[in-house]
Homo-oligomer: A and B are copies of this chain.
Amino acid sequence: MVTGMVDIDPDRLRAAFDDYSAIGATDDDGLHRLTLSADDQRVRDEFVSDLEDLGVSVRVDPVGNVFGRREGTDADAAPVLVGSHLDSQPYGGRYDGQLGVLAALETLRALDDHDVETTRPVEIVDWTNEEGSRFKPALMGSGVYAGAHDLDTVLETTDDQGTTVAEALEEIGYRGDEPVGPTERPDSYLELHVEQGPFLEEHGNAVGVVDGILGMAWLEVTITGDSDHAGPTPMHTRSDALVAAADVVTAVRRLSTRLGDDVVTTVGELSVEPDSINVIPSEVTFTVDLRSYDDATVDEGVAAVEAELAAACEREGVDYSLEKIWQIPHTEFSPGVRDAVEDAASEADRSFERMVGGAGHDASYVNDVTDAGMVFVPSVDGKTHNEAEFTEWEDVVAGVEVFANATRRLAERDE
């Protein structure tokens, strides 16, 4: 049962945020802390030291996920798992991931401050390689934990220098020997994260209560035309791969107006061959990223992209191939976890809204093995994955307060 709010300590939270942000700090107030790097080792060491100061027992699994367990009063109760990730994008921001781990750490500290004993254990976690910048795929640690990725395959994955995940884990001393995955199914999982979009700021709300994560498909398209000389080749005999690709880029941009409001479509990568100023492009390769909360709409979008591609290539007299390189259904988080967050936000008198997340998160994988949920805090201008990523400190405090009290509520809930 829940009795009264747990107060967090904003000054202590700020001090921790500044300490952690100094590890891998960039000149422009960002964070460059690639997974399993020397800076990742330093921040993990600080994290483990902070956990040991709290007297929680620390364990590390074979993919480097770090867990710390604060016991509850019921020895048989399944734990509440809370956390996020400490790795960053290349020259990324200080809020993405790190803030979720520090919210969980402050929660444990606040529980200690007030001598709160929870029924369930509360476990904190730092997931390895959420970002996927150095080693692919992203969400590596939580994916292995949830059984979505094969451990041995992941350990053999290499970065651009040919270093394997296994070697990098050994190098920084975080190749643990605890069992992989949930040896006991957690009761629930909660993660705080920056929204990475503009809605909370636009609507003036402090906290986002996350219903789920958009489903998505990634496409790779290659268009093949003829590389003729830009001078003597008249317009009517050309088969220009880039002209056809430009049509598709425009069509992809417009798709959301046909498919629905929550659909987002992006061409993020595009390259041209032979890429010479006076040669008509013979080959263009590009990607399409297509997301919606409705999985059928994602399928409809994929079909629409292929139809637009076929029409553009027919017009230009060029060929194409289309490959769906990845697709995941939407994630629907647990109503029980969502209720705990809403109740905590109401009790704390923080304005909140229900929303869906557009980016992938560790919580999506963890949702496969237990009831998961997320708390979003506002991102100024929706900026993320770069050094300009910023959240107003008062929004951080509000979010962590809601997170801590939602965690406490989960730690008291019945089986």
- Chain A positions within 8 Å of B, measured between CB atoms, are 195-199, 214, 216, 218, 227-235, 237, 240, 242-243, 245-247, 249-250, 253, 256, 264-272, 275-281, 287, 289, 291, 357-360, 382-386
Contacts and interface: CB of A to CB of B under 8 A. Distances in A.
B275 A270 contact: yes
A268 B231 contact: no
Given A196-B229, A196-B231, A280 B253 contact: no
A302 to B, nearest CB: 15
A233 B267 CA distance: 13
A276 to B, nearest CB: 5
Given A230-B291, A231-B291, A269-B276, 20 more contacts: A196-B229, A197-B229, A197-B231, A197-B232, A227-B385, A227-B386, A228-B384, A228-B385, A229-B385, A231-B289, A231-B357, A232-B359, A232-B382, A233-B382, A235-B265, A237-B382, A247-B250, A268-B277, A270-B272, A271-B272
A359 B278 CA distance: 9
A360 to B, nearest CB: 7
A198 B357 CA distance: 54
A275 B271 CA distance: 9
A14 to B, nearest CB: 25
Copies assembled: 2
Given A270-B242, A275-B269, A359 B231 contact: yes
Given A218-B277, A227-B386, A198 B233 contact: yes
B278 A256 contact: no
A243 B247 contact: no
Nearest to A235: B256
A196 to B, nearest CB: 4
A268 B232 contact: no
A216 to B, nearest CB: 7
A335 to B, nearest CB: 22
A108 B275 CA distance: 40
Contacts of A229: 196-197, 358-359, 382, 384-385
A269 B282 CA distance: 11
**Which among A199, A242, A357 has the highest number of chain B CB atoms within 10 Å?**
A242
Contacts of A265: 235
Contacts of A231: 196-197, 214, 216, 264, 289, 291, 357-360
Contacts of A235: 253, 256, 264-265
